[in-house]
Amino acid sequence: MIGTLRGFIQVLWDNVDTVNGDAVMLDEQTAPVIATKSLRKMYGPHLALDDATLELPAGAIGILGPNGAGKSTLFKCLLGLIGVTSGEGSVLGHDIRTEGDKIRSKIGYMPEYNSLDPGLFAIDQVRYCGELLGMNSKIAMQRAHEVLEYVGLKEQRYRKIETFSTGMIQATKLACALVHDPEILICDEPTNGLDQRARSFMLKTLRRTVKQGNRTVLMSSHVMDDVQEVCDRIVLIHKGRIVVHRSIGELVSKVEREIEIVVWGGAKKMDEALSSKGLETRRLGRVIRIKFEDDYTVNKILEAAISSGVQVRQLYEYEPDLEDVFLLIMEKLGSEIKGSSELLAIRSGGEEE
């Protein structure tokens, strides 16, 4: 099914080392804000994080992986909340094993699950979060006003959180994470449960935090589009191992070119005609993707359409996205999944996240 992308897989696989867990491919010249070396975390006999070696530069980074892959364990290790079994790591120059409190002072964490007091006004909740970081009460209040305005809740500051919609709750959680202007923002599924408008605003806000605020964002998500919209690079974790760490642009550029056509009146016949002309195809209903081999590929497609008597309603060069990249990686890793959304149902034997 994915024969046309065999070349890409090979290139990708060259960079994936599941034996040593070394997936360090830092090409930027910038100094890493997060660095780990052979990080390993075991919960009793269960290995949650295996030999994780990373060097993350500033910017927006998507953390991907199936449920139970070890994303939350990685976050907890980076926040200095749990002791590591072996290995070492640093965040903003602070040792994750001994300087957890310093790290957490410089990091903003936006949890996936509800973590707000429903009985508080949004402004008081954000202020209290600032105070928990050691901010003076007045300054925390001032910052709470600023960040709530930034996340689009200026008019709702004095509303109780129990009256908020999911989008407003997510925005408040983001405000809580941003109140002290952290150098690194960790967002766990920031678009969870959001409608299209709220999702778009959340992603725009995260992007602005990276671009305008010059902050680093670590974002975990199951929605590839979200990651692609915000992040410059991805870290893929699978069964506790970091298997891919690359910039998205670089990954996508490695995917071979394809022509996508939408046909009418005999997709199967068309598929056979294309195959008989030596073209590699993959088909989903009336949509067929053909590997772009040379400049004559389009001519061959049109000839196949004529010979099979099929209408070609649309024909364009397909632009691969992160979802394609992700599927290929997962297939190579042995996960029989049809899409990133299916990951939600997968338990790969890791810890519960």
**Is the separation of the CB atoms in 40 and 85 below 8 Å?**
yes
**Could you tell me the smallest distance in angstroms from the CB atom of residue 236 to another protein?**
19
Looking at the Cβ atoms of 102 and 286, the one nearer to another protein is 102
Residues binding another protein: what is the number (CB under 8 A)? 54
Binding mask 79-118 for another protein (x = CB under 8 A): x-x------------------xxx-xx-x-x-xxxxxxxx
Looking at the Cβ atoms of 35 and 161, the one nearer to another protein is 161
Residue with tokens 């024909």: 315
Looking at the Cβ atoms of 104 and 254, the one nearer to another protein is 104
* Residue 316 binds to another protein (criterion: CB under 8 A): no
* Residues 6 or more apart in contact with residue 186 via CB below 8 angstroms: 75, 78, 79, 107, 108, 109, 110, 177, 217, 218, 219
**Cα 174 vs. chain centroid, distance in angstroms?**
17
**Could you tell me the smallest distance in angstroms from the CB atom of residue 203 to another protein?**
13
Binding mask 48-67 for another protein (x = CB under 8 A): --------------------
* Residue 136 binds to another protein (criterion: CB under 8 A): yes
* Residue 129 binds to another protein (criterion: CB under 8 A): yes
* Of the candidates 185, 164, 172, 182, the residue with the CA atom closest to the CA atom of residue 123: 172
Helix locations, the chain, DSSP H: 6-14, 71-78, 100-106, 122-132, 137-150, 166-178, 196-211, 224-230, 248-254, 267-276, 297-308, 322-333
Q: Cα–Cα distances in Å, from 340 out to 49, 114, 167, 216, 249?
A: 21, 24, 23, 24, 19
Tell me whether strands 107-110 and 258-264 are parallel, antiparallel or unpaired: unpaired
Looking at the Cβ atoms of 127 and 233, the one nearer to another protein is 127
Binding mask 203-232 for another protein (x = CB under 8 A): -xx--xx--xx-x-----------------
**Could you tell me the smallest distance in angstroms from the CB atom of residue 125 to another protein?**
8
* Of the candidates 15, 3, 5, 13, the residue with the CA atom closest to the CA atom of residue 256: 5
* Of the candidates 219, 215, 251, the residue with the CA atom closest to the CA atom of residue 62: 219
* Residue 341 binds to another protein (criterion: CB under 8 A): no
Q: Which two tokens stand for residue 55?
A: 């060097």
* Residues 6 or more apart in contact with residue 203 via CB below 8 angstroms: 190, 191, 226, 229, 230
Looking at the Cβ atoms of 20 and 214, the one nearer to another protein is 214
Looking at the Cβ atoms of 3 and 118, the one nearer to another protein is 118
**Could you tell me the smallest distance in angstroms from the CB atom of residue 126 to another protein?**
10
Looking at the Cβ atoms of 77 and 329, the one nearer to another protein is 77
Q: Which two tokens stand for residue 226?
A: 């979200």
- Applying CB under 8 A, which of residues 35, 48, 135, 301 lies at the interface with another protein? 135
Binding site for another protein (CB under 8 A): 72, 75-76, 79, 81, 100-102, 104-105, 107, 109, 111-121, 124, 127-129, 131-137, 139, 143, 146-147, 150, 152, 154, 176, 180-181, 188, 204-205, 208-209, 212-213, 215, 352-353
